[in-house]
Amino acid sequence: MMPERAFVIGGTRLIKRAWQIYAAHIILFVMYIAEIGYFARRYGDPNLENEFNVAGFMANPAETLYQGLILAFKPVNMDVLPLYSRSFGRCCDCRT
């Protein structure tokens, strides 16, 4: 009985953590796109949109937002692995 219950508990914790990471990524994605778009429009610098790979969002926001939700679109500096590994490194002591 115990191994089956542990599998269910472990699975639910895994799904919960994956959902938290996904939600944080989406929030950061929307904030990032909004900030780059705001500064590009405010200062009239179209190269800013191209530099941070958000020109597609300005041209077709619905499609790019959909691609961001399914994690297919990745702007510059939004790679998940380095962000996650940095935050994981801060949370635990990795020295041996």
pLDDT in tens, 36-75: 888 888 888 878 878 887 777 778 888 888 888 888 887 7
**Burial 61-70, CB ≥16 within 10 A → b, else e:** eeebeeebee
**Choice among 8-12, 17-21, 62-66, 89-93 with the minimum mean pLDDT:** 89-93
Is residue 26 within 8 Å of residue 69, measured between CB atoms? yes
Say what the pTM is: 0.67
CA dist 49 and 64 (Å) reads 13
Token pair recorded at residue 88: 């994981």
**Interhelix angle for 80-91 vs 2-43, to 10°?**
120
Closest C-alpha among 41, 38, 24, 26 to residue 75:
26
Residue 85 confidence class, pLDDT cut points 50, 70, 90: low
